[in-house]
Amino acid sequence: MPSVGINEQKSHLYFSENPLEFDPPLVKKKNVYFIPIRSLTSFFDGDITRSKKDHSFNIQLKNIPFKIKPNVKKYTINNQTKIFKHPPFIYKTRLYVPLIEYLENFNISIIKKNNHFYAIDHTPTSPELSKKIPLSYPPYNDPSSKKNMFLPISKQTLPIKTSRFHGKEKTDITDFIRYLGYKIETIDHHFLLKKNNIVYAFKTNSNQVKLIQNKTVHTKTLSYKPTIKNQRFYVSLKPFLNDLGFDYIATNDTITILKKLNNIRLDNESKITLNKNSRIKIGAGHTLNNPPRIFWDFGFTKCPNHPIKTQTPTIKKITFGQKKTTCRMVVHFEKNHRVLVSHNSPISTSFSFEKTTPSKKIPRHKQITQHQQSLRGKVIIIDPGHGGSDPGAVTKTNDYEKYYTLDISKRIQTLLQKKGAKTILLRSNDSNPSLYQRVKKINRSNGDFLISVHINSFINSIANGSETYYYKQSEKLAAKYVQKHLAKQLKLKNNGVKHAKMYILRYSKIPGVLIEPCFMTNKHEYTLLKTNAFKQKIAKATVDGVEEYFKNK
């Protein structure tokens, strides 16, 4: 018999297309929705313990500690006291917390639609752990004494033309702007730059610039005042270049324009995010030992002039070295680490570092043999999600997820077979074997690994990026490797690896992962998904991740 005033709800909470399972269910009390916190800790791979001394619950969720007592509004987060508007309580032996209030601690908002709840994460990095570190560059005066501007990528040289306005020397930057791909228009005393559906509206002798995108206008204050004369655009060169993500080095009578690193954010003790000029390309990095470090070379890029002391147990420091037009960034460690590079956006890249365990040195010819043979003879089960009467996600144009999961699964099968693996496809046409039938076939196959292929969807079209799911703790390493390659090759937002009680992962007896490489409900990612090249990238990234897992497990 249910408790007085508490109504159980047949609702799901979605963080993407995959709902969080409630046991016991989500409930409604006095028009407020409450969630069993143990379901959250299970979904996010957290932890919960109960103190016999004061009957409080100690919860570790997304690396944030909480202390909550039933029927008490006060609680602590990171040892700081906060207050619930609606107190938590015990129901069916589980601690329940107010759904919307609790998730606000993670900057997650909730949308309710058709009796279900959809979570929107507004901050990919926890602000409590994040620290932005500015990068300093040597000061330069505006190059009035220089004659030329050299653009090393295109190997073009532009003459530097300066004029004096109200006693200040300013540089004509019009041709350089055109080189960057901006369309230029002058109207009255305004100078308009247009690129990628964004318009920058400068006004002569004003330090305000308006940014117009999708009929939304933002105003930014500049450290300089541009001048417009005879349809030419004159600025103080150094600050203008910095705003665009550029800097320069000066030699003789020429300045060489270089791309620029803007700042580094220390997300936690083993993850950093680099904000940069969008044209800087970043690869996997190069590992060195004695002492342990990983470095990247950024072509045509200006180096900061000071190292960074991070003061974390993992990363000792970050140093920079300029060699002609190449900037080398070196991350120094106490012990050997490997790196996962995630391209969050064209101007932001994250580096996550994992400690490596020492291994015996293997002769190079044996390493090559092991690399080539890591999948040979392995039995890999491939599960194309949905099918038949179950279309999966459906777009506004009535395009179905089931077609893409089958296409990508067949591409994965082909690549695995080329590497000597034996493959079993759980469906090869537009059929819909039940989850029970799929699991039954998996468990009878004597297979080595399972790959379940899905395409993500969400109520909000802003949701984007790739993610990989696991259920058993033994699958977490495989999920990390697969997600690493999806993030690297697809170059979408890296949503990371996630723990979830997916039926097919939960009840299969072999290790496996479920991939969600992109969102069909996101316009940009759906456009990519319709191309054969992108589907092939998904397949290759998945196989590369599984191959690395078998090499290192």
In whole angstroms, what is the distance from residue 243 CA to residue 202 CA?
Answer: 13
Looking at the domain assignment, is residue 525 inside a domain?
Answer: yes
pLDDT, residue 141, reads: 56
Residue count of the chain, please give it: 553
**Is residue 346 domain-shared with residue 374, that is, in the same domain?**
no
The model's pTM: 0.54
Q: Can you read off the two tokens belonging to residue 549?
A: 């897992």
Order the strands of the 108-113 sheet from edge to edge: 19-20, 13-14, 116-121, 108-113
**Is residue 510 domain-shared with residue 402, that is, in the same domain?**
yes
**Is residue 527 domain-shared with residue 436, that is, in the same domain?**
yes
**Is residue 283 domain-shared with residue 193, that is, in the same domain?**
no
Looking at the domain assignment, is residue 73 inside a domain?
Answer: yes
Contact present, 294 and 182 (Cβ < 8 Å): no
**Is residue 98 domain-shared with residue 116, that is, in the same domain?**
yes
Count of domains for the chain? 4
CATH code of residue 282: 2.60.40.3500
Label residue 164 exposed, middle or buried (CB < 10 Å: 0-12, 13-18, 19+). exposed
User: 């500015």: which residue's tokens?
Assistant: 134
**Structural domain span for residue 226:** 148-251
Looking at the domain assignment, is residue 193 inside a domain?
Answer: yes
> Helices (H) and strands (E) in the chain — how many of each?
11, 43
- Which of 338, 355, 372 terminates a domain? The answer is 355
- Which of 197, 228, 251 terminates a domain? The answer is 251
Residue 294 identity: I
**Is residue 222 domain-shared with residue 284, that is, in the same domain?**
no
**Is residue 333 domain-shared with residue 447, that is, in the same domain?**
no
**Is residue 307 domain-shared with residue 172, that is, in the same domain?**
no
Contact present, 311 and 270 (Cβ < 8 Å): no
CATH code of residue 426: 3.40.630.40
Picking from 496, 460, 480, the residue whose alpha carbon sits closest to that of residue 122 is 460
In whole angstroms, what is the distance from residue 38 CA to residue 46 CA?
Answer: 9
Q: What are phi and psi of 547, to 5 degrees?
A: -65, -45
CA 175 to chain centre: 35
Contact present, 490 and 537 (Cβ < 8 Å): yes
Residues 267-302 as b/e (b if ≥16 CB within 10 A, e otherwise) read bbebbbbbbbbeebeeeebeeeeeebbbebebebbb
CB within 8 Å of 300: residues ≥ 6 apart: 152, 153, 258, 259, 325, 326
pLDDT, residue 385, reads: 95
**Is residue 414 domain-shared with residue 548, that is, in the same domain?**
yes
**Is residue 27 domain-shared with residue 92, that is, in the same domain?**
yes
In whole angstroms, what is the distance from residue 447 CA to residue 428 CA?
Answer: 18
Looking at the domain assignment, is residue 445 inside a domain?
Answer: yes
Looking at the domain assignment, is residue 132 inside a domain?
Answer: no
Looking at the domain assignment, is residue 350 inside a domain?
Answer: yes
CATH code of residue 114: 3.30.457.10
pLDDT, residue 127, reads: 38
- Which of 355, 387, 411 terminates a domain? The answer is 355
**Is residue 238 domain-shared with residue 209, that is, in the same domain?**
yes
Looking at the domain assignment, is residue 135 inside a domain?
Answer: no
Picking from 297, 287, 290, the residue whose alpha carbon sits closest to that of residue 353 is 287
Using DSSP bridges, classify how beta strands 94-98 and 32-36 pair: parallel, antiparallel or unpaired: antiparallel
Collapsing DSSP states into helix, strand and coil, what is residue 294? Answer: strand
Looking at the domain assignment, is residue 128 inside a domain?
Answer: no
Q: What are phi and psi of 537, to 5 degrees?
A: -65, -40
Q: Can you read off the two tokens belonging to residue 318?
A: 């970050």
Picking from 468, 478, 447, 495, the residue whose alpha carbon sits closest to that of residue 551 is 478
Question: Which pairs with CB-CB distance under 8 Å and at least 24 residues apart come from 149-155?
Answer: 149/176, 149/248, 149/254, 149/255, 149/257, 150/254, 150/255, 150/256, 150/257, 151/176, 151/179, 151/257, 152/256, 152/257, 152/258, 152/300, 152/325, 153/300, 154/179
Give mean pLDDT in consecutive 10-residue pieces for the chain, a chain of 553 residues.
76 82 87 93 82 90 88 91 94 94 89 86 48 76 75 88 88 89 87 86 90 80 88 88 86 89 84 88 89 94 89 86 94 88 80 71 49 82 95 92 97 96 95 93 94 93 91 92 94 88 91 96 94 96 96 85
**Is residue 451 domain-shared with residue 518, that is, in the same domain?**
yes
In whole angstroms, what is the distance from residue 83 CA to residue 69 CA?
Answer: 11
